[in-house]
Structure 1
Amino acid sequence: MGADAEIGALLRGARCSARLTQAQVGAACGYSPSAVSRIESGQMGVDYPTLLKLAAFLRITPDQLRASAVPGMTNIATVAGGCRSDEEDEVRRRELLTGVVAAGATAVVGAGPATAAPVDLDVALFRLPQGEPVPLPRLVGQIATARRDYCATQYARLGQVLPALIAAAAATRDVSKGRSRDEANLALARSYVLAAELANKQHSDAAWVAADRALAAARSSGIPVAVGEASRQLAIAMRRSGRPTSAVSLLTKEAADLDPSYDQTGAVRTTLLLTGAYSAATGRDRTTALALMEEAGQEADRRPAVPGLFTVEATRAQVDAYRISVLTALGTPDEGVDVAARLDVDHMPTAERRARAWTDIARMWNALGDAPQTFAALQRVEQEAPQEVRRPALRALTTGLLYGPTRVAGVREFAARTGAVAS
């Protein structure tokens, strides 16, 4: 495979993982959808500034780019302006990789002039700081605080504290025995679940690592609720990498292993079914998606939600929010309009869930071609969670509005404010 083809395959994989269309990528980076298609197929080369821009927008890490781009950097430089010496190619390679790090730092979730420097989870999870054991009650309290940061969409702050929190949880587990070890494994699993959730927000491959480690710790704890939480994160990573069928298989198996008569376990089971329904929908398996949605709705109606335990609550409102996203993914967003009309987003319990619900509604209206309603929903996302609206997928949705056929007042200012375009 030539350099252009390798780079194209990398770009296409990142775009699909982020659930973006070629039109959205093109709008954000100044290309037509057909040009993006030719780039992804290796039929069209790009110069290194353009590759830098594409990589930053698609959240391609330096290590990923190095694996594909460096072997063919001579070819990339040639596209830009003729053959260059090996020394010049090495300089351009360093410029490109340095540039992607800098550009990616501004594209990360929650990055902005007033936020702390973002943490690269791809690196942090493999190079955790030295951790010291802490008393279990204090560790549990620290994880609860981190979870509140996630629910409040304080992603930059969460990213800063997670590596040390995970290291402390691992050190505590390593010196614990008996029941205390089980509880420490539960704490470690939940800290890795938070890392996986944050990585999924960032469209980072670190989600795979965090979810796998979360599941290992959860199984060691012997606590079914933790196993369900970790399995859900692993399935989301599978889905984002283009394996929706495998994700559905994992989720339905784990749901079947849980006892629905126990409220906390039953609540996790409901969230597994909801995630399974959306995973099936992304694979255009309408029958499975709707069947899992129906089962999740029945579960939510049969037992009360368990407040404060999960980042996704098993409620009727949550079922409706998922139903909107499922119907949009299945290509029938018109069926979600009535669901959106009855959904009382303001009464959802956390900023993260409210912002996610408005995101689902924005995608629904966007799929229906209603730019004003799409923009109105995106504004609600920003009101609930300013860091949420800077996620790669939402920036792409914003740029789609900015360069789309319908002019909507305020979109350009919104795009500049939320990082979708340079201000």
Structure 2
Amino acid sequence: MDSESGLLDGIGANIAAHRRAAGITQASLALSVGKSVQWVSAVEQGRRHADRLTDLIAIATVVGCRVEDLIGRPVDTLAPGSSPRGEAVAAVREVLMRAAVPIAPPVGQVPDLDDVGERVAEAWTVWHGSPAAHTVLGGMLPGLIADANAAYQTAAEHKRAARALAGVYQVTRQWLHHIPDGALAWVAAERAMNAAREADDPHLIALGAWALSGSYRRAGQQDEATRLCLAAADELERRIDPSDPQKTLLADYGMLHLAAAISAAQSDEDGRAWALHRVAEDAARALGSHYDAWTAFGRGNVDIHGVAISAELGHADAVVEYASRLDIDQVPSVERRSAALINTARGFVRRGEDEAAALVLLDAERISAEEVRDSTLVRELLRELLHRDRARARSHVRGLAQRAGLIAA
């Protein structure tokens, strides 16, 4: 792909191909999904992006395909060259599949459980703290998954080993979700939940529900994602100890409500999404300065989710207004800060403020180039910016598109 012909590829092209294969006109599709013919035409031509999952689910239902057919692997493989994460994902896949039928390690080669636990904590520190987390974790995870499983197979303290294993699968799921490899992320999320239940650890069970809800959302099952989070939150509420100085379960309770709020927003449940967000706000206020090292739950992350909810609901003005009140520098997580800026760019693009959108994406890239360059959503935003830039002369937009693998240098 060495010319701008590739700009017509992506979600819009996939929609057009599946619509034609189903023998459906643009007018019929527009009527079925509650949009105008002009909107469908603009999306198919790449002049605007279909960034709302509810719209994509509706389109997939009408044309008779899966949501993944519109936004999954076909989109990722349109970029020129091979994926820079391909080898890392393959290594993680191999060790995950091998762990499905575990073999006890030879005597004398059993990993130390304390060491595994320290490496799990380090992996989470890398995830939230390193701009190069995608690359660094790609190198760490295969060995860590293998060692955690080996320690689990031989540990005398079985529940403690299960806790370490759950933590490994949790961070693996986060990494896979952002690379992205949705199918493998689902495998990691299910294994995290199984290990958490074996450990009988309410904190890890809550994290398991949080992780699984992300996989359900990615599969277009928003109602199930919401149900899962709220059921887990109800169970957790009965176990919260107000005297706990760590307030871990309270943080988990708030985090589950944030995840449920995103699912509700993706289902166009405006009132419910904000009601769930308010519960999370209350939990964050009760936590004070506490910050959860794994989920990044805290007051700053609650505000960042406010931007995400507005973006998922398609309220561009609310996105920009909410973002103007954010102090993202107060959020320790690199991934969360870059996510806030990417969602802010969604608002600017929808409002037609392309220069502002590009500058925000550049800010996000400075925080974490990998979060920007590995994002399918960012590539769709850039497609729209390039189509609408009639002069084709904005070097910073073209530079972003080149670094994201959207167009050749």
TM superposition score category, shorter chain reference: 0.7 to 0.9
Question: d(CA) in 1 for partners of 2:159 and 2:206?
Answer: 16
Name the SS for the 1:419 alignment partner.
coil
Name the SS for the 1:119 alignment partner.
helix
Q: 1:289 aligns to what? A: 273
1:28 CA drift (Å): 5.3
Structure 2: runs of 5+ lacking an equivalent: 24-73
CA shift in 2, pair 1:193/1:118, >3 Å: same
Q: 1:247 aligns to what? A: 225
CA shift in 2, pair 1:101/1:389, >3 Å: closer
Q: Does 2:393 correspond to 1:415?
A: no
Question: d(CA) in 1 for partners of 2:271 and 2:110?
Answer: 49
Q: 1:193 aligns to what? A: 170
The 5 A counterparts of 1:22-61 are 29-31=7-9, 36-41=14-19, 43=21
1:302 CA drift (Å): 1.3
Q: Does 2:283 correspond to 1:299?
A: yes
1:149 CA drift (Å): 2.2
Report percent identity of matched pairs: 27
Q: 2:212 aligns to what? A: 234
The 5 A counterparts of 1:323-334 are 323-334=306-317
2:320 equivalent among 330, 337, 351: 337
> Contact (CA 8 Å) 1:348, 1:354: kept in 2 or not?
yes
> Contact (CA 8 Å) 1:305, 1:314: kept in 2 or not?
no
> Contact (CA 8 Å) 2:189, 2:208: kept in 1 or not?
yes
Question: d(CA) in 2 for partners of 1:141 and 1:28?
Answer: 45
Question: d(CA) in 2 for partners of 1:174 and 1:35?
Answer: 48
**Aligned partner of 1:127: which letter?**
R
Q: 1:150 aligns to what? A: 127
Displacement over 6 Å in runs of 4+: 99-105
2:257 equivalent among 273, 279, 289: 273
CA shift in 2, pair 1:226/1:158, >3 Å: same
Q: Does 2:378 correspond to 1:400?
A: no
1:390 equivalent among 362, 373, 393: 373
1:266 CA drift (Å): 0.6
Alignment deviations for residues 280-322 of structure 1 (CA, whole Å, 9 cap, x no partner): 1111111221110111111111123543521x32222211110
Alignment deviations for residues 316-369 of structure 1 (CA, whole Å, 9 cap, x no partner): 221111011101111212123332111111221122221122112112222222
Calculate the TM-score normalised by the size of structure 1.
0.73
CA shift in 2, pair 1:297/1:305, >3 Å: same
How many residues end up aligned between the 2 structures? 337
Alignment deviations for residues 87-125 of structure 1 (CA, whole Å, 9 cap, x no partner): xxxxxxxxxxxx9999789564xx38xxx9432344442
Higher relative contact order (CA 8 A, sep 6+): 2
CA shift in 2, pair 1:223/1:107, >3 Å: farther
Q: Does 2:98 correspond to 1:127?
A: yes
**Aligned partner of 2:166: which letter?**
A
Please tell me the root mean square deviation across aligned C-alpha atoms, in Å: 2.9
Moved more, 222-231 or 99-108: 99-108
1:154 CA drift (Å): 1.8
Name the SS for the 1:421 alignment partner.
coil
Question: d(CA) in 1 for partners of 2:348 and 2:330?
Answer: 21
Calculate the TM-score normalised by the size of structure 2.
0.75
The 5 A counterparts of 1:61-100 are none
**Aligned partner of 2:173: which letter?**
A
Question: d(CA) in 1 for partners of 2:117 and 2:384?
Answer: 42
Question: d(CA) in 2 for partners of 1:305 and 1:186?
Answer: 26
